[in-house]
Chains A and B, each alone.
Chain A
Amino acid sequence: MLLAIEYDVMLQFEGITKRYKKAGIIYPALEEVSIRIDKGEFVTVTGPSGSGKSTLLNIAGGLINPDFGNVYFHEQNIYLFNNSEFDDYRKRHVGYVFQQFHLIPYLTVFENIRMVCSGLTVAQQIDSYLEKCSLQPLRNKYPSELSVGEKQRTAFIRAIINHPDLLLADEPTGNLDPLNSRILMSLTKEFNQSGGTVILVSHDQDSKQFASRHITLDSGRLISDQKIT
């Protein structure tokens, strides 16, 4: 179990380098990127395709090992975690939202959310989120019966139901119409305002208006890092 000591620095990337090799050719995804993200920040990450945005997010979530560098979560190097500590990190401290929703097709809306909950999370809590996200009438529907907006809101509840410290969102509005995009971004902002830290990868320039900080990557390098007031 991770230490539950409160620090201002939530996540720190230190000299992160990641390269992919395809057909013998090496493609740099991230080159010596160092970023510090404080608790309660809402960070948007933009950049062209292949700039390393998703790689950065996946390294933060512990899904990809960097080739070089360290990632610290509350001053603990997550890439020194053993398997069960990594599982615990992802289960308790990180929530993921993806562009493709990735709901389990044979589980209902309620079950998709319940699936990630620890034993202590009660159905009532899930229902209150469903109510808040206007999904209560769809509680027992399967993903195939939902619209894209409803699917993404379900995925969003799944990501935050365990009250993670960090919400990692990879192009969450990429498949949504403007209305649903706005609803999702509002929910994300609400999560942030309640104390959660958000890293959001997006092509959508509108997402910046919800952020407190904006990072731009290009060809795996950090181009800009601006606080938004």
Chain B
Amino acid sequence: MNPFKLVIKELFYRKINSLVILLTVIVAATVSVAVFTLSKASENETRKIMREQGLNLYIFPKGTNLIDFFSVNNTPAFSEDYVDVLADSKTFDAVRHLTGILQLKYPDWIDPNGSRHQIVVSGYKDEAVQRFLNKQETMGFDVEPGTVHVGALLSVNIPEGEPFRILGKDGEEHTFEIAKRLIEGKGILDQGVAFHLADLQQLLGMEGQINRIEALGCVCHDGRIKNARMQVQSIFPDLEVTEVGSIAEARENQRLMMNKYGSFLIPFVVLASLLISGLLFYANVNSRRYEMGIFKATGKSNSFIVSIIILKAFLIGLVGSITGFFAGSGISEYFGQKIFRFTATDIEPLWNIFGFAVLIFPVLWMLSSWIPALLATQVDAAGILSGE
């Protein structure tokens, strides 16, 4: 008789035992998939928050006064070629979104009403494409040449449809199309204007100059600031790196904590389920001792006896892992929408772990049935069948 048919018939005959074993796989698979999916969602959320927070690493000349740096008080400038050299480096991989910036105070801007203001002007070089990355979506200001993004506080002083006008170092008035009016909450840029770097350099007569590089530190455990500083200074010893603390950091810590929980929870649940399952397989084999005796008495080999138990474990593992994958994904989606603010709608089943789950759980459950299967081959057929 086909062992597959035999296994299926036995599965349905001992429904309770089969269902409880199936439940252990479903629980293990559900928890594993849910924790993994939520962990991934948390990572995406962290990235998104970091993106919302803006670039968080600043690179500038050594010796720069940090009070002046953060209050935009004309800090030393350096060549914008530094950005390209860093982007082209084989060893500098601790950051993303390298952006050369020239940021200065412009002390005497006259708004369309004739009022004079001290504003902050920032010129953004196009984000460098690092040699180990494909072109990414720009994270900082993507300002087209000839246009500006105007901060919220300046924007109220410029009527709709008007261009942005500013006097250059050459004494001429320069006009820029306002491509974007920024909303409040951009910090110092609320009172500033974002230019394309080349436009600002020309306006201020600082061609080829920047005074900071901003970047996004990677999401990594090994101290991104320390790592980034070491990498930058191995290329340019005259540069320094500092980091802006942010919610993102707290989020990242939260994510790392969740990963730690996950790395404890998944093995704990899987091992506990395997243990319960192993005991259930043992109980199953024990209740089928006379069946095993009959198999032996009728000349079925030990490998046949092992195979029908292992096959049962495989089938339960397969069905349990598929069910657990969808249950875990569903739970992640349901609770993820309540937990994550920015990526709530992005939580979807991780199909790349589907194959993994469908492979690993049947294998684990086959292993959990291994000892009971071997015990099944050792039953005393004579004693059992003769009723001794």
Which A residues contact B (CB, under 8 angstroms)? 54-55, 57-58, 61, 63-64, 83-84, 87-92, 94, 96, 98-100, 102, 104-107, 111, 114-117, 158, 170
Q: Are A102 and B385 closer than 8 Å at their CB atoms?
A: yes
Q: How far is the CA of A58 from the CA of B385 in the complex (A)?
A: 10
Q: Is B9 an interface residue (CB 8 A)?
A: yes
CB distance from B175 to the nearest CB of A (A): 88
Q: Is B115 an interface residue (CB 8 A)?
A: no
Q: How far is the CA of A198 from the CA of B12 in the complex (A)?
A: 37
Q: Is B13 an interface residue (CB 8 A)?
A: yes
Q: How far is the CA of A55 from the CA of B385 in the complex (A)?
A: 11
Task: Tell me which of B294, B297, B301 contacts A83 (CB under 8 A).
Answer: B301
Q: Are A98 and B299 closer than 8 Å at their CB atoms?
A: no
Known: A58-B386, A107-B9. A84 touches B1 (CB 8 A): no
Q: How far is the CA of A170 from the CA of B388 in the complex (A)?
A: 12
Q: Which residues of A contact B293 (CB under 8 A)?
A: 102
Q: Is B10 an interface residue (CB 8 A)?
A: yes
Q: Are A116 and B9 closer than 8 Å at their CB atoms?
A: no
Closest to B377 in A: A83
Q: Which residues of B contact A88 (CB under 8 A)?
A: 299
Closest to B387 in A: A100
Q: Mark B1-31, 1 if CB is under 8 A from A, else 0.
A: 1000010011011100000000000000000
Closest to B14 in A: A106
Known: A99-B387, A102-B385. A61 touches B12 (CB 8 A): no
Q: Are A106 and B10 closer than 8 Å at their CB atoms?
A: yes
Q: How far is the CA of A129 from the CA of B387 in the complex (A)?
A: 27
Q: How far is the CA of A98 from the CA of B291 in the complex (A)?
A: 13
Q: Which residues of B contact A64 (CB under 8 A)?
A: 382
Q: How far is the CA of A104 from the CA of B6 in the complex (A)?
A: 10
Q: Which residues of B contact A117 (CB under 8 A)?
A: 1
Task: Tell me which of A58, A111, A116, A170 contacts B298 (CB under 8 A).
Answer: A116
| Supplied contacts A106-B9, A115-B6, 12 more A-B pairs, CB within 8 Å | A54-B386, A57-B386, A63-B385, A87-B299, A91-B299, A98-B385, A102-B294, A106-B13, A107-B1, A107-B9, A114-B1, A115-B298
CB distance from A99 to the nearest CB of B (A): 7
Q: How far is the CA of A98 from the CA of B293 in the complex (A)?
A: 11
Q: Are B385 and A111 closer than 8 Å at their CB atoms?
A: no
Q: Are B298 and A90 closer than 8 Å at their CB atoms?
A: yes
Q: How far is the CA of A158 from the CA of B298 in the complex (A)?
A: 9
Q: Are A102 and B381 closer than 8 Å at their CB atoms?
A: no
Known: A105-B13, A114-B1. A96 touches B301 (CB 8 A): no
Q: Are B382 and A84 closer than 8 Å at their CB atoms?
A: no
Q: How far is the CA of A99 from the CA of B388 in the complex (A)?
A: 12
CB distance from B101 to the nearest CB of A (A): 75
Q: Which residues of B contact A92 (CB under 8 A)?
A: 299
Pairs A–B under 8 Å by Cβ, sample size 20:
A54-B388, A61-B297, A63-B381, A63-B385, A64-B382, A84-B301, A90-B296, A91-B298, A92-B299, A96-B298, A99-B387, A102-B293, A102-B294, A105-B13, A106-B10, A106-B14, A107-B6, A111-B9, A114-B1, A115-B1
Q: Is B195 an interface residue (CB 8 A)?
A: no
Q: Are B300 and A87 closer than 8 Å at their CB atoms?
A: yes
Q: Is B302 an interface residue (CB 8 A)?
A: yes
Q: How far is the CA of A185 from the CA of B12 in the complex (A)?
A: 36
Closest to A118 in B: B299
Q: Which residues of B contact A158 (CB under 8 A)?
A: 298
Q: Are A98 and B301 closer than 8 Å at their CB atoms?
A: no
Q: How far is the CA of A111 from the CA of B382 in the complex (A)?
A: 23
Q: Are B12 and A100 closer than 8 Å at their CB atoms?
A: no
Q: How far is the CA of A100 from the CA of B14 in the complex (A)?
A: 21
Known: A102-B290, A104-B294. A90 touches B13 (CB 8 A): no
Task: Tell me which of A58, A87, A89, A106 contacts B382 (CB under 8 A).
Answer: A58
Q: Which residues of A contact B388 (CB under 8 A)?
A: 54
In the complex, chain B residues 296-320 whose Cβ is within 8 Å of any chain A Cβ? 296-302
Q: Which residues of B contact A115 (CB under 8 A)?
A: 1, 6, 298
Q: Mark B240-269, 1 if CB is under 8 A from A, else 0.
A: 000000000000000000000000000000
Q: How far is the CA of A106 from the CA of B291 in the complex (A)?
A: 11
In the complex, chain B residues 347-388 whose Cβ is within 8 Å of any chain A Cβ? 381-382, 385-388
CB distance from A188 to the nearest CB of B (A): 17
Q: How far is the CA of A119 from the CA of B253 in the complex (A)?
A: 64
Closest 3 CB pairs of A and B: A91-B299, A106-B13, A90-B299
Q: How far is the CA of A117 from the CA of B388 in the complex (A)?
A: 27
Q: How far is the CA of A115 from the CA of B299 in the complex (A)?
A: 11
Q: Are A90 and B9 closer than 8 Å at their CB atoms?
A: no
Q: How far is the CA of A144 from the CA of B12 in the complex (A)?
A: 15
